[in-house]
């Protein structure tokens, strides 16, 4: 779309209430124009031809042609970014990640009670993601691969990591993280801690999906989880995550303190603690995402003697977070997504391993 033009949005949802509330929320922004609504996928596809929107918001559970089939046809026949408005439930989370696999740009969780008052809680995120989709969605996302269970090592001792890899990521993150983590070997010698900007209730399903398709262990973090080689811990939505060195093993600690940079979890919170606790044994990595969260924390890792990396612009869906770190002079190496697994393996294999003592939740 051209600069200065309003973002034309088509809303596809079988709920008459949502077909009123979503346009009303979007219409508050002077840069957005809702050009139409549709009650199911069949009507939606016809209106795409007629109205030529820039962005589509899409419900997944609809009669006749459901959202998933509509998404397949939209990604196959049109170059239009889709923001999924998904049910905030276990089944909704599973469907959302399936939609990302099919090429949806991003998602916003629909509250359990999708009344006008409850929708206000996601209004800001909905407006922001529609505008981001309009700006960057034409680039397209890397569709998630079909999840396939992989063979885990038969015996994986709780070995202390040679390095602690801290990753900050947002828009485009599920696709990029799956690509990165699934390429790491089961005997990866580093421990990984991840802040992915994602709503509460979705990170557990995301971690479970990654665990099934990766040779390393992946789980949603709990306070007291031990940092061990070959394990990735994903911060739960709406919590902050820090690391702490303890006599019985190095662990993660979750907290509910105020948002930082408008986020909880915040990448800066994680990076600052990794820099403080692990210094030269730390690796900080900023990946695809909007905004500046993590840029200052990356500077702390660099100052402490750690290695700092950023995903390159070409492989990012949104280059905002890596660019913020680069612009501040905090990034030591800019690396394409496809090369990141080898870079991490190589840099985590430098130090010898030592045996760790398992602790709480270890």
Looking at domain 7-139, does it have CATH number 1.10.287.70? no
What is the reported pLDDT for 37?
97
Enumerate residues 6+ apart whose C-beta is below 8 A from 270. 166, 168, 193, 195, 235, 240, 241, 242, 243, 297
Instruction: Check residues 358 and 305 and name the one with the higher pLDDT.
Output: 305
**pLDDT tens for each residue of 5-42:** 899 999 999 999 999 999 999 999 999 999 999 999 99
Do residues 144 and 45 touch, judged by C-beta distance below 8 A? Answer: no
What is the reported pLDDT for 353?
41
**How would CATH label the architecture of 159-355?**
3-Layer(aba) Sandwich (3.40)
pLDDT at 151 over 70: no
Nearest to 286 by CA among 305, 304, 266, 303: 266
Lowest mean pLDDT among 3-17, 294-308, 334-348: 3-17
Mean pLDDT value of segment 229-255: 95
Mean pLDDT value of segment 280-297: 97
Taking the C-alpha atoms of residue 224 and residue 226, their distance in angstroms, rounded to an integer, is: 6
Which residue bears the tokens 């403080």? 276
What is the reported pLDDT for 88?
65
Residues marked active site are found at 170, 197, 293
- Domain range annotation of the chain: 7-139, 159-355
**pLDDT tens for each residue of 64-81:** 888 899 999 999 999 899
State both tokens at 252: 């993660």
What DSSP designation does 209 have? H
What is the reported pLDDT for 357?
38
State both tokens at 33: 């124009």
Long-range contacts of 217-223 (CB under 8 A, 24+ apart): 217/152, 217/156, 218/181, 221/193, 221/252, 221/254, 222/252, 222/254, 222/361, 223/251, 223/252, 223/253, 223/254, 223/360, 223/361
Taking the C-alpha atoms of residue 47 and residue 27, their distance in angstroms, rounded to an integer, is: 19
pLDDT at 156 over 70: no
What is the reported pLDDT for 89?
65
Output Rg (C-alpha) for the chain, integer angstroms. Answer: 21
**pLDDT tens for each residue of 104-127:** 999 998 877 666 667 888 899 999
pLDDT at 62 over 50: yes
Do residues 175 and 99 touch, judged by C-beta distance below 8 A? Answer: no
The yes-or-no answer to whether 7-139 and 159-355 have a common fold is yes
Say what the alpha-carbon torsion angle 267, 269, 274, 276 is, to the nearest 10 degrees: 150
**pLDDT tens for each residue of 214-235:** 999 999 999 999 999 999 999 9
Strand partners, 253: 242
């Amino acid at each position: 779309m051209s600069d200065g033009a309003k973002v034309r949005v088509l809303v596809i949802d079988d709920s008459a209430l949502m077909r009123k509330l979503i346009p009303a929320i979007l219409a508050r922004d002077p840069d957005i124009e809702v050009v139409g609504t549709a009650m199911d996928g069949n009507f939606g596809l016809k209106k795409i031809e007629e109205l030529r929107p820039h962005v589509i918001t899409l419900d997944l559970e609809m009669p006749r042609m459901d959202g998933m089939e509509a998404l397949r046809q939209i990604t196959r026949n049109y170059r239009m970014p889709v923001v999924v408005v998904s049910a905030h439930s276990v089944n909704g989370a599973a469907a959302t990640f399936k939609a990302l696999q099919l090429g949806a740009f991003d998602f916003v969780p629909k509250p359990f009670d999708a009344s006008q008052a409850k929708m206000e809680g996601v209004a800001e995120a909905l407006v922001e993601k529609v505008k981001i989709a309009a700006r960057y969605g034409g680039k397209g996302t890397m569709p998630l691969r079909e999840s396939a269970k992989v063979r885990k090592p038969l015996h994986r001792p709780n070995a202390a990591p040679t390095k602690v890899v801290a990753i900050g990521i947002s828009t485009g993150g599920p696709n990029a993280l799956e690509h990165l983590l699934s390429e790491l070997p089961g005997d990866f010698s580093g421990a990984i801690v991840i802040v992915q900007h994602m709503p509460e209730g979705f990170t557990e399903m995301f971690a479970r999906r990654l665990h099934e398709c990766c040779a390393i262990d992946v789980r949603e973090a709990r306070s007291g989880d031990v940092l061990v080689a070959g394990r990735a811990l994903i911060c739960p939505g709406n919590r902050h995550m820090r690391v702490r060195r303890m006599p019985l093993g190095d662990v993660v600690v979750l907290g509910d303190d105020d948002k930082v940079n408008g986020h909880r979890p915040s990448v800066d919170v994680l990076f600052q603690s990794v820099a403080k606790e692990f210094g030269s044994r730390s690796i900080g990595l900023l990946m695809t995402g909007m905004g500046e969260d993590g840029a200052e924390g990356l500077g702390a890792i660099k100052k402490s003697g750690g290695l700092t990396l950023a995903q390159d612009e070409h492989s990012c869906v949104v280059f905002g977070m890596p660019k913020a770190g680069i612009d501040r002079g905090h990034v030591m190496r800019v690396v394409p997504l496809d090369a990141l697994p080898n870079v991490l393996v190589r840099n985590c294999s430098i130090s010898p391993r030592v045996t760790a003592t398992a602790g709480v939740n270890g």
